[in-house]
Structure 1
């Protein structure tokens, strides 16, 4: 799998053998250019690849939730500045 080109639901995928969960996403930070990314184990990437349509709704929800959290984080940061 080419990590540089893999995306799920328009979100980049990073294969990371060090993570402990099936899917991880970075916590929102102060960087306004920060975007969501899925961090997954190689076995999770293989599993999703086998039946992407099954996992797609959950992946979309995860990405949407991350974007909502990022927006809320940035609004709170702006209000506190």
Structure 2
């Protein structure tokens, strides 16, 4: 499985889990400060949509912004 941006690559585009057979495979990197950054789309990171609608907890891609705590992820290795 991999994380894939669905549709046009623009701020707030939905990110979903997809089988790795989808082409092109998009790649990501996790930084120590908690950002999960796209290696495919420069300057874009994983974020949580937020708001009050049904999709408020969906993961989206957004430009990196130090003032958005929703872009900070806690990564736990099992």
Does TM-score exceed 0.5, indicating one fold? Answer: no
Bin for the TM-score computed over the shorter chain: under 0.3
Of the two, which has the highest radius of gyration?
A: 1
TM-score normalised by structure 2 residue count:
0.26
TM-score normalised by structure 1 residue count:
0.25
Q: Which has the higher strand share?
A: 2
